[in-house]
């Protein structure tokens, strides 16, 4: 287990990085909002829409991770252990959403970087532009749907060692 000083250092460093991440993502959101207001159709282009989704998921991830990290100090007797498990599942879900949204954004830009217009790539580009909202909705729903079964595993009663202050995690015996 970590000493109190090590926990404090990790808490401070995580907080500093979380604040920087939130400010950076807020900047991206404000830039996208400005682009939305400047556009004549009042629509975001697909890249801005994907970046907005990534920014929102990243800010939520930072807040939930920081809350989960301080949960062992807030709840020392594991009276709200299900909250820790739910926070952990939400964190895993948001990581999944960020990972696949970044992959989708990379794929979107990959099809735009083709030097010679190939029929296949232009069809893929048209499909992405047409279905970007649906694709991101599927990414978000599948991110939560894939991680919800973890709630049956991440409970206080599944702990394998006793005497630890980690309420919502499975701790190895070695």
43 occurs within a structural domain = yes
Residue 57, domain member (yes or no) = yes
User: Domain count of the chain?
Assistant: 1
With respect to residue 19, please indicate whether it lies within any of the assigned structural domains.
yes
Q: Are 146 and 96 in contact (CB under 8 A)?
A: yes
How high is the pLDDT of residue 166? 58
pLDDT per residue over 33-58, tens digit each?
A: 998 888 888 888 888 889 999 999 99
- Whether the pLDDT of residue 98 is over 50: the answer is yes
> Could you tell me the two tokens for 53?
């989704």
Contacts of 71 (CB under 8 A, 6+ apart): 83, 84, 87, 167, 168
14 belongs to a structural domain? yes
Cβ(25)–Cβ(6) below 8 Å:
no
Q: Is 73 in contact with 167 (CB distance < 8 Å)?
A: no
* Owning domain of residue 127: 4-158
Q: Which tops the pLDDT comparison, 165 or 116?
A: 116
Count other C-beta atoms under 10 Å from residue 44's C-beta: 18
**108 domain residue, yes or no:** yes
pLDDT at residue 115 tops 50: yes
The answer as to whether 169 is a domain residue is no
Q: Is the pLDDT of residue 15 over 80?
A: yes
Residue 167 inside a domain? The answer is no
pLDDT digits (tens, 9 = 90+) for 62-92: 999 888 888 777 777 767 767 777 888 899 9
Asked if the structure places residue 173 within a domain, the reply is no
Q: Which residue has the tokens 């109190």?
A: 4
Give pTM, 2 decimals. 0.77
């Amino acid at each position: 287990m970590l000493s109190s000083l090590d926990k404090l250092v990790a808490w401070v460093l995580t907080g500093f990085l979380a604040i920087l991440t939130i400010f950076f993502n807020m900047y991206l959101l404000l830039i996208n909002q400005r682009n939305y207001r400047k556009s004549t159709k009042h629509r975001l282009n697909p890249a801005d829409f994907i970046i907005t989704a990534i920014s929102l998921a990243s800010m939520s991830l930072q807040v939930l991770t920081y809350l989960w990290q301080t949960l062992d100090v807030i709840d020392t007797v594991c009276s709200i252990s299900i909250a820790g498990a739910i926070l952990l599942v939400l964190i895993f879900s948001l990581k999944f959403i960020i990972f696949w949204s970044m992959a989708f954004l990379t794929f979107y830009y990959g099809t735009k970087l083709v030097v010679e217009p190939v029929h296949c790539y232009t069809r893929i580009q048209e499909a992405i532009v047409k279905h970007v909202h649906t694709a991101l909705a599927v990414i978000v729903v599948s991110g939560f749907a894939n991680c919800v079964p973890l709630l049956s595993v991440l409970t206080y009663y599944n702990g394998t060692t006793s005497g630890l202050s980690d309420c919502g995690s499975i701790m190895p015996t070695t």
